[in-house]
Structure 1
Amino acid sequence: MDSSSPLVETLRRLLADRGLALGLQLGNGRTETLGSGPAAVILRLPRPEAALKLLSPDLGTLARAYIHGEIDVEGSALDIVRLAFELAHAGSAHRRLLNRVTGWRLWRHNPASDRRAIAHHYDVSNDFYRLWLDPEMVYSCAYFPSGSETLEQAQQAKLDLICRKLQLEPGERFLDIGCGWGALLLWAHRHYGVKATGVTLSEQQFNYARQRIRELGLEGAIDVHLQDYRHIPGQGVFDKIASVGMFEHVGIRNLPVYFGAISRLLTDGGLVLNHGITTRTGDEAVRDGAGDFIDRYVFPDGELPTMAQAAAAMEDQQLEVFDVEGLRPHYARTLLHWVERLDAHRDSAIRLVGDRTYRVWRIYMAGSAQAFEYGWISVHQLLAAKRAVKGFSAQRWSREHMWRSPAR
């Protein structure tokens, strides 16, 4: 293929029409700038037929070509994803949406399939996640009160915001569903004196959290179980419950089961905070094949409800929603921190998990940052109380307790 080929000419026109520029390295090793303006991204085509991926592409096609090495790119992850979004948008008139996140997948979300899906994403390697997460290993949207916080400060602020919203008090029984590597459990016990219990389906997260608890001598104060949320025993055994970044794995048709389990486990008047990614009503949140890519390579069986669906499902299980906060800009910034850190540790990441997994996480996180930036998806914290037979819940009259300075 040379610079005058029909494929290159088509790509040149597509870029020019969108006001974009791309550096294209052809088989002879020479780089030619296509489109208009300076090129922040250089695309290399190991084989001429790879150029076909760029004609009327969708996001899934571009992502798969990148992670399988059919195309290679030079530039920041954010610039690469922005260009991919624009190319996909240019060709979107010729394609139909392949999937919707609101579609029910009736054959998924039983305990065995959920365990496999969680293992696929979270059991990659603790050392891999440690490269780009904060020291507490918090793998969910951070909270930037002023916008100038470091990632470490923002994750601490998020942990404390959850504890303040739940009005944690010394001696209370606190459950974290999908506890990850245990950061919220440790923070809640250390700063609020609760007796904390966590459950996760990830063996690597479970082993890591249990080891940290043992090293800190907190076995009597914090328990962690390798357990499905549906199998947590008891009735009214917890005063407060948090679920952070977990209900995306539940499945829309299982929201009644999920919130039903929470309602069963809460005391009357007890509080629950559900923190999770949501999609927008009527939006094509699985854009141009991106959903298929994420489902196959990143989050198998993941489904995003709307915020209204989540709130309605909570209310149907006698969980009265008191407070809703959207954190969409916070997750965009969190993801940018993560992908910048991952890129800074590229060689170490590839040694730990291989080039393909490195590429998957790089393009996934950069793409997700753009999806939050564009408003295709969001993230909400919903605070609710289990309805008591009579009287009021523990919810306070004022919201002032939510906004004081984080615990240190």
Structure 2
Amino acid sequence: MKHLLHSLEASLALSPVGVAVELPDGARLGDANADLRLRFRDRMAVVALAMGEIGNVGAAIVEGRVALEGSMRQLMTAAAALLKQNPTHEGPATGWQRVLLRARSMAAHTLSHDARNIQFHYDLSDDFYALWLDPRRVYSCAYYRTPDMSLAQAQEAKLDHICRKLLLRPGDRFLDIGAGWGGLLLWAAQEYGVDATGITLSRNQHAHVQRLIAERGLQGRVRMQLLDYRELQVEQPFDKIASVGMFEHVGRSQMERYFATVHRLLRPGGLLLNHGITSGGLDNPRLGAGLGDFIERYIFPGGELLHVSAVLHDMARAGLEMVDTENLRPHYARTLWAWSDALEARQDEARSVLVAQHGKERGEKALRAYRLYLAGCALAFERGWTALHQMLAVRPTGHVEDGVLKGAQSDYPFSRAYMYEGPAATH
């Protein structure tokens, strides 16, 4: 233990921000005058900090075994300095590990498990999410088209960016897989005149969007279904499909089935926009240093990230042709910091909401977990440990004469100019 404490003291001295550490026996390490303070009540959490297992330190904070004082931005700066290695450098899984990972993924992604996992996160509390999301409650990476945009403006820019990429036109049959609180679904209907269908597994989100549809008089043109994507059956395929922030929940073992389902739901020549988080590492099954374990336990049970190359492989195997891919990684870092800063500014309100709905112990733990999750994910996107890709794909018609260019076989014009022509539809 003495050797570990010497190592920890040396690491603390190299941190760009001062850190004061109080050990369970009252001994102190680091900068005694620092604003960032960690009081340890558990020796194993001290060991985790010394070993650079910052995700496990985060778990100890959530469980109340470490008391935290200081800002999330200071904490993340210190956390990055205390890591022993890049958390994507865990190395590839062995043959048996791959078999085990696939078996676990298959067990975790049944219809009932996926519904339970989605509700664990998204049904925590609508009032809580409303405190730190934008007014439309768009819970995915924003698009800062210009550097001076606010979060709300950047979220509208993202919604419009997706609609433009999909070439949405009045009357298009549009499907939003994992429609959340309805931001994209309603934007596409109101700004582009599409006939819109959304699906979700979140009861809270389903009820919220149903209310918005009624309030805006969109019945008959917009509908929201409480349904797993695997269960959606339609008589007529959709012209355009978007999946935003959803396929992270699909699971490695289900990815081929997911894209095969999208292929079935999309008409020949139609467009798919798949927007989601991807792994920054090629081979690591999850982030190391305890970070992936933290997310699995407290935030997104069942979530699995794949490298963009693996996603495109499964997309192609399903018969979908990728025609454009855009990496928005720094945009998500800025989005997450905006969410984190908003939650930090309204901590007292957030605590009151969560405690009122879930009781003191669970409410306090949830707040600590979300504070760490939002700031920690901002750090991960800044450092390139995770990424965010928008993948635009088509279902080719098989007829070389279809499309604006011979061989296009789809609605896609094989030019990116259309995505940026004319004024954006932001308010």
**TM-score, normalised to structure 1's length?**
0.91
Pick closer, same or farther for the CA change 1:49–1:196 going to 2, 3 Å.
closer
Match of 1:23 in 2: 20
CA contact (8 A) 2:189 2:195 kept: yes
Secondary structure of the residue that 1:69 maps to in structure 2? coil
Identical-pair percentage: 43
| Bigger mean CA deviation after superposition, 192-201 or 229-238 | 229-238
> Aligned to 2:106, what secondary structure does the other structure show?
coil
Show structure 2 runs of 5+ residues with no match: 355-362, 403-408
Partner Cα separation in structure 2 for residue 48 and residue 395 of structure 1: 59
Say whether residues 1:12 and 2:9 are aligned partners: yes
Q: What does residue range 334-373 of structure 1 map to in structure 2 within 5 Å?
A: 334-353=335-354, 354-373=363-382
Aligned-residue offset at 1:174: 0.4
Within 5 Å, give how 1:276-295 maps onto structure 2. 276-282=276-282, 284=284, 285-295=286-296
CA–CA distance in 2 between the matches of 1:152 and 1:305? Answer: 29
Give per-residue Cα distances to partners, 1:16-48, cap 9 Å, x unaligned: 256663123568999x67169x73512223567
Q: What SS does the aligned partner of 1:219 have?
A: coil
C-alpha separation between the residues in 2 aligned to 1:198 and 1:136? 16
Q: Measure, in 1, the Cα distance between the counterparts of 2:128 and 2:92.
A: 32
Change (3 A) 1:191 1:19: closer
* CA drift at 1:360: 0.6
Q: 2:110 is matched by which residue type in structure 1?
A: N
Which residue number corresponds to residue 190 of structure 2?
190
Please point out which of 363, 369, 385 is paired with 1:376: 385
Query: Which position in structure 2 is the counterpart of 1:200?
Result: 200
Please state how far the C-alpha of 1:52 moved relative to its aligned partner.
Answer: 4.3
For the pair 1:70 / 2:65, whether they are aligned, the reply is yes
Which amino acid is 2:312 matched to?
Answer: A
Relative to the length of structure 2, the TM-score reads 0.87
The equivalent residue for 2:55 is 60
Give the Cα–Cα distance (whole angstroms) in 2 for the partners of residues 20 and 132 of structure 1.
Answer: 26
Moved more, 238-247 or 78-87: 78-87
Counterpart CA distance in 1 for 2:251 and 2:375 is 24
Deviates more, 1:258-267 or 1:45-54: 45-54
* Structure 2 counterpart of 1:253: 253
Letter in 2 for 1:393: S
Deviations 1:146-168 (A, max 9, x none): 22210000000000000000000
State the secondary structure of the residue aligned to 1:239. strand
Q: Is the 8 A contact 1:59 1:287 kept in 2?
A: no
Q: Relative to 1, partners in 2 of residues 1:184 and 1:18: Cα closer, same or farther, differing over 3 Å?
A: closer
Specify the SS of the correspondent of 1:295.
helix
Deviation at 1:397, TM superposition (A): 3.8
Within 2, Cα distance between the matches of 1:218 and 1:17?
58
Q: Secondary structure at the match of 2:138?
A: coil
Q: Which runs of 5+ in 1 are unaligned?
A: none
Distance in 1 of aligned mates of 2:243 and 2:236: 17
Distance 1:394 1:7, change over 3 A: closer
SS in structure 2 at match of 1:89: coil
Report the secondary structure of 2:267's partner residue.
strand
Contact 1:200 1:206 in 2 (8 A): yes
Contact kept in structure 2, 1:60 and 1:291, CA below 8 Å: yes
Cα shift readout 1:262-320 (whole Å, capped 9, x = no counterpart): 11111110101000111134364512111111111110111111111111211112211
Q: CA deviation at 1:53?
A: 4.5
**In the TM superposition, what whole-angstrom CA distance separates every residue of 1:99-123 from its partner, at most 9, and x where no partner exists?**
8998432312111110011011100
Does structure 1 retain, via aligned residues, the 8 Å contact 2:48–2:56? yes
SS of alignment partner, residue 149 of structure 1: coil
Aligned-partner Cα distance in 1 for 2:244–2:295: 20
Which residue of 2 is the match for residue 121 of structure 1? 121
Q: Shift of the alpha carbon at 1:235? A: 5.5
Q: Give the match for residue 406 of structure 2.
A: none
Distance in 2, matches of 1:294 and 1:220, equals: 39
Letter in 2 for 1:402: M
How far apart are 1:98 and its partner, in Å?
11
Q: Secondary structure at the match of 2:83?
A: helix
1:260–1:51 distance in 2 versus 1, CA, 3 Å: closer
Q: Greater shift after overlay, 331-340 or 103-112?
A: 103-112
| Structure 1 residue aligned with 2:405 | none
Name the structure 2 match of 1:407.
425
